[in-house]
Chain A
Amino acid sequence: MTGLAPSRVEIQARLEQALAERVPVAVATVVRGGQVGAKLLILPEETLGGLGDATLDTAVQSDVPELLARERSETRPYDVAGHDEPVEVFIETFPPPPTLLIFGAVHVAQPLSRFAKALGFDVVVSDARAKLATRERFPDADRIIQGWPDETLDQVEILPNTYVAILSHDPKFDEPALVGTLATPAAYIGAIGSRSTNEDRRRRLAEAGMSPEQIARIRAPIGLDIGAATPEEMAISILGEIIALRRGRSGGSLTFATGRIRGEGDPTVGDRDPTAVYRNHAVGDGEGAAAAR
Protein backbone atom coordinates (compact mmCIF):
# COMPACT_ATOMS: atom_id res chain seq x y z
CA MET A 1 0.00 0.00 0.00
CA THR A 2 1.65 3.20 -1.06
CA GLY A 3 0.43 6.75 -0.81
CA LEU A 4 -1.73 8.19 1.90
CA ALA A 5 -3.53 5.58 3.96
CA PRO A 6 -7.30 6.05 3.86
CA SER A 7 -8.73 7.20 7.16
CA ARG A 8 -11.06 5.16 9.33
CA VAL A 9 -13.82 7.51 8.27
CA GLU A 10 -13.21 6.71 4.59
CA ILE A 11 -13.20 2.99 5.29
CA GLN A 12 -16.37 3.34 7.35
CA ALA A 13 -18.06 5.27 4.53
CA ARG A 14 -17.07 2.68 1.91
CA LEU A 15 -18.31 -0.09 4.23
CA GLU A 16 -21.69 1.57 4.64
CA GLN A 17 -21.96 1.99 0.87
CA ALA A 18 -21.22 -1.73 0.35
CA LEU A 19 -23.83 -2.68 2.96
CA ALA A 20 -26.44 -0.51 1.25
CA GLU A 21 -25.60 -2.15 -2.09
CA ARG A 22 -25.87 -5.68 -0.61
CA VAL A 23 -22.29 -6.41 -1.62
CA PRO A 24 -20.49 -9.06 0.49
CA VAL A 25 -17.79 -7.19 2.39
CA ALA A 26 -15.32 -7.72 5.24
CA VAL A 27 -13.26 -5.42 7.43
CA ALA A 28 -9.99 -6.66 8.90
CA THR A 29 -8.44 -4.87 11.88
CA VAL A 30 -5.13 -5.54 13.62
CA VAL A 31 -6.02 -5.96 17.30
CA ARG A 32 -2.78 -7.33 18.83
CA GLY A 33 0.87 -7.18 17.75
CA GLY A 34 1.77 -5.25 14.61
CA GLN A 35 0.12 -1.98 13.73
CA VAL A 36 -2.84 -2.08 16.12
CA GLY A 37 -5.88 -0.34 14.65
CA ALA A 38 -4.76 -0.67 11.01
CA LYS A 39 -7.67 -1.61 8.77
CA LEU A 40 -8.26 -3.32 5.45
CA LEU A 41 -11.65 -3.28 3.76
CA ILE A 42 -12.14 -6.26 1.47
CA LEU A 43 -14.69 -6.09 -1.36
CA PRO A 44 -15.16 -8.71 -4.09
CA GLU A 45 -13.12 -6.75 -6.64
CA GLU A 46 -11.04 -4.33 -4.58
CA THR A 47 -9.53 -3.52 -1.22
CA LEU A 48 -9.12 -0.27 0.68
CA GLY A 49 -6.56 0.45 3.38
CA GLY A 50 -3.90 -1.91 4.67
CA LEU A 51 -2.72 -3.81 7.74
CA GLY A 52 0.85 -2.53 7.65
CA ASP A 53 2.29 -5.47 5.73
CA ALA A 54 1.49 -6.46 2.14
CA THR A 55 1.83 -10.20 2.72
CA LEU A 56 -0.46 -9.95 5.75
CA ASP A 57 -3.03 -8.13 3.59
CA THR A 58 -2.90 -10.97 1.06
CA ALA A 59 -3.15 -13.70 3.69
CA VAL A 60 -6.15 -12.06 5.35
CA GLN A 61 -7.82 -11.40 2.03
CA SER A 62 -7.62 -15.08 1.09
CA ASP A 63 -9.35 -16.07 4.37
CA VAL A 64 -12.37 -13.84 3.73
CA PRO A 65 -14.43 -15.93 1.24
CA GLU A 66 -14.60 -18.90 3.61
CA LEU A 67 -15.65 -16.70 6.57
CA LEU A 68 -18.29 -14.95 4.45
CA ALA A 69 -19.69 -18.28 3.30
CA ARG A 70 -19.97 -19.46 6.92
CA GLU A 71 -21.36 -16.08 8.04
CA ARG A 72 -18.62 -15.92 10.69
CA SER A 73 -16.44 -13.18 12.10
CA GLU A 74 -13.23 -14.21 13.81
CA THR A 75 -9.88 -13.11 15.25
CA ARG A 76 -7.05 -15.06 13.61
CA PRO A 77 -3.29 -15.12 14.27
CA TYR A 78 -0.90 -14.55 11.36
CA ASP A 79 2.85 -15.01 11.30
CA VAL A 80 4.40 -11.83 9.94
CA ALA A 81 8.09 -11.26 9.16
CA GLY A 82 9.69 -9.00 11.75
CA HIS A 83 7.23 -9.95 14.53
CA ASP A 84 8.15 -12.56 17.14
CA GLU A 85 4.53 -13.07 18.17
CA PRO A 86 1.74 -13.69 15.65
CA VAL A 87 -0.18 -10.59 14.62
CA GLU A 88 -3.85 -11.01 15.56
CA VAL A 89 -6.38 -9.73 13.06
CA PHE A 90 -10.11 -9.45 13.68
CA ILE A 91 -11.98 -10.19 10.46
CA GLU A 92 -15.57 -8.99 10.57
CA THR A 93 -17.69 -10.23 7.70
CA PHE A 94 -20.92 -8.75 6.41
CA PRO A 95 -22.68 -11.34 4.27
CA PRO A 96 -25.60 -9.93 2.27
CA PRO A 97 -28.84 -10.20 4.23
CA PRO A 98 -31.10 -13.20 3.64
CA THR A 99 -34.34 -12.73 1.73
CA LEU A 100 -37.77 -13.84 2.87
CA LEU A 101 -40.10 -14.33 -0.09
CA ILE A 102 -43.74 -14.56 0.98
CA PHE A 103 -46.33 -15.94 -1.40
CA GLY A 104 -49.77 -14.84 -0.26
CA ALA A 105 -50.31 -11.29 1.04
CA VAL A 106 -52.65 -12.71 3.68
CA HIS A 107 -53.15 -11.68 7.31
CA VAL A 108 -50.28 -13.84 8.65
CA ALA A 109 -47.98 -12.29 6.04
CA GLN A 110 -48.36 -8.86 7.68
CA PRO A 111 -46.69 -9.61 11.05
CA LEU A 112 -44.35 -12.02 9.26
CA SER A 113 -43.14 -9.20 7.02
CA ARG A 114 -42.77 -6.84 9.99
CA PHE A 115 -40.91 -9.28 12.25
CA ALA A 116 -38.67 -10.53 9.43
CA LYS A 117 -37.56 -6.94 8.75
CA ALA A 118 -36.64 -6.59 12.43
CA LEU A 119 -34.52 -9.76 12.08
CA GLY A 120 -32.61 -8.25 9.16
CA PHE A 121 -34.27 -10.00 6.24
CA ASP A 122 -35.02 -8.35 2.92
CA VAL A 123 -38.74 -9.04 2.52
CA VAL A 124 -40.58 -9.62 -0.75
CA VAL A 125 -44.36 -10.11 -0.71
CA SER A 126 -46.15 -11.58 -3.72
CA ASP A 127 -49.84 -12.01 -4.46
CA ALA A 128 -51.95 -11.76 -7.62
CA ARG A 129 -54.84 -10.26 -5.64
CA ALA A 130 -54.61 -6.48 -5.97
CA LYS A 131 -56.68 -5.90 -2.82
CA LEU A 132 -54.15 -7.82 -0.71
CA ALA A 133 -50.75 -6.95 -2.19
CA THR A 134 -50.72 -3.29 -1.16
CA ARG A 135 -48.19 -0.94 0.40
CA GLU A 136 -50.76 -0.01 3.06
CA ARG A 137 -50.89 -3.61 4.24
CA PHE A 138 -47.11 -4.13 3.98
CA PRO A 139 -45.40 -0.87 4.93
CA ASP A 140 -42.15 -2.69 5.91
CA ALA A 141 -41.74 -4.90 2.84
CA ASP A 142 -38.77 -4.13 0.60
CA ARG A 143 -40.76 -5.20 -2.44
CA ILE A 144 -44.40 -5.94 -3.19
CA ILE A 145 -45.07 -7.88 -6.37
CA GLN A 146 -48.62 -7.94 -7.65
CA GLY A 147 -48.59 -11.04 -9.77
CA TRP A 148 -48.87 -14.81 -10.07
CA PRO A 149 -46.14 -17.05 -8.64
CA ASP A 150 -44.52 -17.70 -12.03
CA GLU A 151 -44.43 -13.98 -12.78
CA THR A 152 -42.90 -13.39 -9.36
CA LEU A 153 -40.29 -16.09 -9.84
CA ASP A 154 -39.27 -14.40 -13.10
CA GLN A 155 -38.59 -11.19 -11.16
CA VAL A 156 -36.90 -12.50 -8.02
CA GLU A 157 -33.60 -14.34 -8.08
CA ILE A 158 -33.78 -17.17 -5.55
CA LEU A 159 -30.40 -17.75 -3.94
CA PRO A 160 -29.17 -20.20 -1.28
CA ASN A 161 -29.94 -17.50 1.33
CA THR A 162 -33.56 -17.07 0.17
CA TYR A 163 -36.31 -18.34 2.48
CA VAL A 164 -39.76 -18.94 1.01
CA ALA A 165 -43.05 -18.93 2.95
CA ILE A 166 -46.10 -20.00 0.99
CA LEU A 167 -49.18 -18.78 2.83
CA SER A 168 -51.92 -18.25 0.27
CA HIS A 169 -54.19 -21.14 1.39
CA ASP A 170 -55.27 -21.64 -2.19
CA PRO A 171 -53.91 -24.42 -4.41
CA LYS A 172 -54.03 -22.25 -7.51
CA PHE A 173 -51.43 -19.97 -5.91
CA ASP A 174 -49.67 -22.44 -3.61
CA GLU A 175 -48.89 -25.16 -6.08
CA PRO A 176 -47.25 -23.05 -8.79
CA ALA A 177 -45.27 -21.36 -6.02
CA LEU A 178 -44.16 -24.73 -4.66
CA VAL A 179 -43.32 -26.23 -8.04
CA GLY A 180 -41.43 -23.07 -9.01
CA THR A 181 -39.39 -22.75 -5.82
CA LEU A 182 -38.59 -26.47 -5.57
CA ALA A 183 -36.53 -25.99 -8.73
CA THR A 184 -34.38 -23.34 -6.98
CA PRO A 185 -31.60 -23.51 -4.36
CA ALA A 186 -33.86 -21.79 -1.75
CA ALA A 187 -32.72 -22.49 1.82
CA TYR A 188 -36.25 -23.04 3.06
CA ILE A 189 -39.63 -23.70 1.52
CA GLY A 190 -42.47 -23.66 4.03
CA ALA A 191 -46.14 -24.02 3.18
CA ILE A 192 -49.17 -23.28 5.32
CA GLY A 193 -52.05 -25.69 5.65
CA SER A 194 -53.53 -28.42 7.80
CA ARG A 195 -52.10 -31.91 7.84
CA SER A 196 -54.83 -33.13 5.47
CA THR A 197 -54.20 -30.19 3.10
CA ASN A 198 -50.57 -31.16 3.11
CA GLU A 199 -51.29 -34.82 2.42
CA ASP A 200 -53.36 -33.80 -0.59
CA ARG A 201 -50.72 -31.34 -1.69
CA ARG A 202 -47.92 -33.90 -1.49
CA ARG A 203 -50.01 -36.39 -3.43
CA ARG A 204 -50.75 -33.87 -6.19
CA LEU A 205 -47.10 -32.82 -6.43
CA ALA A 206 -46.10 -36.49 -6.74
CA GLU A 207 -48.69 -36.97 -9.48
CA ALA A 208 -47.31 -33.89 -11.20
CA GLY A 209 -43.95 -35.66 -11.35
CA MET A 210 -42.06 -34.15 -8.40
CA SER A 211 -39.62 -36.63 -6.84
CA PRO A 212 -39.94 -37.71 -3.17
CA GLU A 213 -36.65 -35.87 -2.53
CA GLN A 214 -38.06 -32.63 -3.89
CA ILE A 215 -41.32 -33.01 -1.98
CA ALA A 216 -39.40 -33.75 1.24
CA ARG A 217 -37.85 -30.27 1.06
CA ILE A 218 -41.22 -28.72 1.85
CA ARG A 219 -41.73 -27.70 5.47
CA ALA A 220 -45.42 -28.27 5.99
CA PRO A 221 -47.34 -27.65 8.11
CA ILE A 222 -45.15 -24.56 8.32
CA GLY A 223 -43.52 -23.37 11.56
CA LEU A 224 -42.36 -24.60 14.94
CA ASP A 225 -44.74 -26.42 17.25
CA ILE A 226 -45.48 -23.65 19.75
CA GLY A 227 -49.27 -23.78 19.55
CA ALA A 228 -49.42 -20.57 17.54
CA ALA A 229 -53.00 -19.31 17.24
CA THR A 230 -52.92 -15.65 16.19
CA PRO A 231 -51.29 -14.28 13.00
CA GLU A 232 -48.52 -12.75 15.13
CA GLU A 233 -47.87 -16.06 16.90
CA MET A 234 -47.83 -17.89 13.58
CA ALA A 235 -45.28 -15.38 12.28
CA ILE A 236 -43.08 -16.09 15.32
CA SER A 237 -43.50 -19.82 14.77
CA ILE A 238 -42.44 -19.53 11.11
CA LEU A 239 -39.49 -17.25 11.89
CA GLY A 240 -38.47 -19.55 14.75
CA GLU A 241 -38.29 -22.41 12.27
CA ILE A 242 -36.26 -20.28 9.85
CA ILE A 243 -33.79 -19.14 12.54
CA ALA A 244 -33.36 -22.74 13.72
CA LEU A 245 -32.71 -23.84 10.15
CA ARG A 246 -30.16 -21.07 9.58
CA ARG A 247 -28.28 -22.16 12.69
CA GLY A 248 -28.67 -25.89 12.18
CA ARG A 249 -30.85 -26.40 15.26
CA SER A 250 -34.04 -28.36 15.78
CA GLY A 251 -36.00 -25.70 17.69
CA GLY A 252 -36.81 -27.33 21.04
CA SER A 253 -36.64 -25.78 24.49
CA LEU A 254 -33.12 -25.14 25.79
CA THR A 255 -34.23 -26.54 29.17
CA PHE A 256 -34.24 -30.00 27.64
CA ALA A 257 -31.12 -29.61 25.52
CA THR A 258 -27.45 -29.98 26.29
CA GLY A 259 -24.50 -28.43 24.54
CA ARG A 260 -23.92 -24.94 23.26
CA ILE A 261 -26.83 -22.52 23.51
CA ARG A 262 -25.72 -20.28 20.67
CA GLY A 263 -24.38 -20.52 17.17
CA GLU A 264 -24.32 -23.28 14.66
CA GLY A 265 -24.89 -26.95 15.19
CA ASP A 266 -26.54 -28.88 17.95
CA PRO A 267 -24.58 -31.83 19.24
CA THR A 268 -27.74 -33.24 20.81
CA VAL A 269 -29.46 -33.64 17.47
CA GLY A 270 -26.70 -35.07 15.34
CA ASP A 271 -27.10 -36.69 11.96
CA ARG A 272 -30.83 -37.12 12.20
CA ASP A 273 -31.36 -33.39 12.58
CA PRO A 274 -34.06 -32.73 9.99
CA THR A 275 -32.60 -29.31 9.33
CA ALA A 276 -29.41 -30.94 8.06
CA VAL A 277 -31.47 -32.44 5.28
CA TYR A 278 -32.51 -29.02 4.14
CA ARG A 279 -29.19 -27.35 4.66
CA ASN A 280 -27.50 -29.69 2.25
CA HIS A 281 -30.42 -30.09 -0.13
CA ALA A 282 -29.43 -33.71 -0.16
CA VAL A 283 -32.36 -35.66 1.13
CA GLY A 284 -31.10 -39.21 1.09
CA ASP A 285 -33.02 -41.93 2.81
CA GLY A 286 -36.65 -42.29 3.82
CA GLU A 287 -35.65 -41.80 7.44
CA GLY A 288 -34.41 -38.27 6.75
CA ALA A 289 -37.55 -37.43 4.88
CA ALA A 290 -39.73 -38.82 7.66
CA ALA A 291 -37.78 -36.93 10.30
CA ALA A 292 -38.43 -33.78 8.32
CA ARG A 293 -42.11 -34.40 9.10
Chain B
Amino acid sequence: MKDILPEVDAWRSAGNQVAIATVVKVEGSAPRPVGATMAVSSAGDLAGSVSGGCVETAVFEEAQEVLRTGQPKLIRYGITDEMAWDVGLACGGTIEVFVEPVTE
Protein backbone atom coordinates (compact mmCIF):
# COMPACT_ATOMS: atom_id res chain seq x y z
CA MET B 1 0.00 0.00 0.00
CA LYS B 2 2.96 2.25 0.63
CA ASP B 3 3.49 2.85 -3.10
CA ILE B 4 0.06 4.44 -3.59
CA LEU B 5 0.03 6.62 -0.46
CA PRO B 6 1.26 9.78 -2.23
CA GLU B 7 -1.64 9.58 -4.70
CA VAL B 8 -4.16 8.72 -1.98
CA ASP B 9 -3.06 11.74 0.06
CA ALA B 10 -3.07 14.04 -2.96
CA TRP B 11 -6.54 13.00 -4.11
CA ARG B 12 -7.98 13.33 -0.62
CA SER B 13 -6.39 16.75 -0.19
CA ALA B 14 -8.08 17.74 -3.45
CA GLY B 15 -11.41 16.89 -1.85
CA ASN B 16 -12.05 13.59 -3.64
CA GLN B 17 -13.20 10.33 -2.14
CA VAL B 18 -10.79 7.42 -2.39
CA ALA B 19 -11.23 3.65 -2.44
CA ILE B 20 -8.37 1.20 -2.04
CA ALA B 21 -8.40 -2.26 -3.61
CA THR B 22 -6.02 -4.83 -2.13
CA VAL B 23 -5.13 -8.36 -3.26
CA VAL B 24 -5.87 -10.33 -0.08
CA LYS B 25 -5.59 -13.87 -1.42
CA VAL B 26 -3.87 -15.58 -4.33
CA GLU B 27 -4.44 -19.15 -5.51
CA GLY B 28 -2.17 -20.53 -8.22
CA SER B 29 -0.31 -18.14 -10.51
CA ALA B 30 -1.19 -14.47 -10.36
CA PRO B 31 0.56 -11.43 -11.76
CA ARG B 32 0.73 -9.53 -8.46
CA PRO B 33 1.25 -10.83 -4.94
CA VAL B 34 -0.89 -10.57 -1.83
CA GLY B 35 -0.72 -6.99 -0.58
CA ALA B 36 -0.64 -5.37 -4.05
CA THR B 37 -2.91 -2.33 -4.03
CA MET B 38 -4.67 -0.01 -6.39
CA ALA B 39 -6.33 3.27 -5.48
CA VAL B 40 -9.27 4.86 -7.24
CA SER B 41 -10.72 8.32 -6.71
CA SER B 42 -14.23 9.63 -7.13
CA ALA B 43 -12.77 11.91 -9.84
CA GLY B 44 -11.77 8.86 -11.87
CA ASP B 45 -8.06 8.72 -11.02
CA LEU B 46 -6.31 5.37 -10.80
CA ALA B 47 -2.92 4.41 -9.31
CA GLY B 48 -1.16 1.14 -8.61
CA SER B 49 -2.36 -2.29 -9.75
CA VAL B 50 -3.85 -5.55 -8.48
CA SER B 51 -3.09 -7.65 -11.56
CA GLY B 52 -1.02 -7.18 -14.67
CA GLY B 53 -3.84 -5.21 -16.25
CA CYS B 54 -6.30 -8.12 -16.47
CA VAL B 55 -8.90 -6.91 -13.97
CA GLU B 56 -8.05 -3.27 -13.25
CA THR B 57 -10.94 -1.91 -15.30
CA ALA B 58 -13.43 -4.13 -13.49
CA VAL B 59 -11.95 -3.22 -10.10
CA PHE B 60 -12.22 0.45 -11.04
CA GLU B 61 -15.98 0.03 -11.62
CA GLU B 62 -16.37 -1.90 -8.36
CA ALA B 63 -14.49 0.85 -6.53
CA GLN B 64 -16.87 3.50 -7.87
CA GLU B 65 -19.75 1.38 -6.59
CA VAL B 66 -18.04 1.06 -3.18
CA LEU B 67 -17.61 4.85 -3.05
CA ARG B 68 -21.31 5.30 -3.81
CA THR B 69 -22.55 2.81 -1.19
CA GLY B 70 -19.77 3.20 1.39
CA GLN B 71 -19.81 -0.59 1.79
CA PRO B 72 -16.56 -2.54 1.42
CA LYS B 73 -16.63 -5.53 -0.88
CA LEU B 74 -14.65 -8.74 -1.48
CA ILE B 75 -14.43 -9.79 -5.13
CA ARG B 76 -13.03 -12.98 -6.55
CA TYR B 77 -11.46 -13.09 -10.01
CA GLY B 78 -10.42 -16.23 -11.82
CA ILE B 79 -10.66 -17.83 -15.23
CA THR B 80 -13.46 -20.14 -14.13
CA ASP B 81 -15.74 -17.43 -12.80
CA GLU B 82 -18.77 -16.28 -14.70
CA MET B 83 -18.47 -12.54 -14.43
CA ALA B 84 -20.53 -9.65 -15.59
CA TRP B 85 -17.59 -7.84 -17.15
CA ASP B 86 -16.14 -10.94 -18.72
CA VAL B 87 -12.77 -10.38 -17.16
CA GLY B 88 -10.36 -12.83 -15.65
CA LEU B 89 -6.73 -13.66 -15.21
CA ALA B 90 -4.83 -14.86 -18.25
CA CYS B 91 -2.32 -16.73 -16.10
CA GLY B 92 -4.86 -19.20 -14.76
CA GLY B 93 -4.88 -18.27 -11.09
CA THR B 94 -7.54 -16.84 -8.82
CA ILE B 95 -7.28 -13.68 -6.80
CA GLU B 96 -9.47 -12.11 -4.15
CA VAL B 97 -9.57 -8.33 -4.08
CA PHE B 98 -10.95 -6.37 -1.14
CA VAL B 99 -12.24 -2.93 -2.06
CA GLU B 100 -12.90 -0.40 0.69
CA PRO B 101 -13.42 3.35 1.01
CA VAL B 102 -10.76 5.34 2.85
CA THR B 103 -12.97 8.36 3.23
CA GLU B 104 -16.06 8.38 5.38
Contact = CB atoms under 8 A, between A and B. Distances in A.
A262 B30 CA distance: 10
Interface residues on chain B, size class: 20 to 34
A92 B35 contact: yes
Contacts of A73: 34-35
A264 to B, nearest CB: 11
B5 A31 contact: no
B5 A8 contact: no
A12 B100 CA distance: 12
Contact of A75 (B2, B71, B96): B96
A120 B102 CA distance: 24
A16 interface: yes
B22 interface: yes
Contact of B33 (A75, A94, A263): A263
Interface string B70-104: 01101000000000000000000000101011111
B68 interface: no
B1 interface: yes
Interface string B55-75: 000000000000000011010
B54 interface: no
A140 to B, nearest CB: 16
Nearest to B103: A9
Nearest to A263: B33
A8 B104 contact: yes
Interface of A: 7-9, 12, 16, 19, 29, 31-32, 36-37, 72-75, 90, 92, 94, 120, 262-263
23 contacts: A8-B101, A8-B104, A19-B2, A29-B100, A31-B24, A31-B98, A36-B72, A36-B74, A37-B100, A72-B34, A73-B34, A73-B35, A74-B34, A90-B22, A90-B24, A90-B98, A92-B1, A92-B22, A92-B35, A94-B1, A120-B2, A262-B33, A263-B33
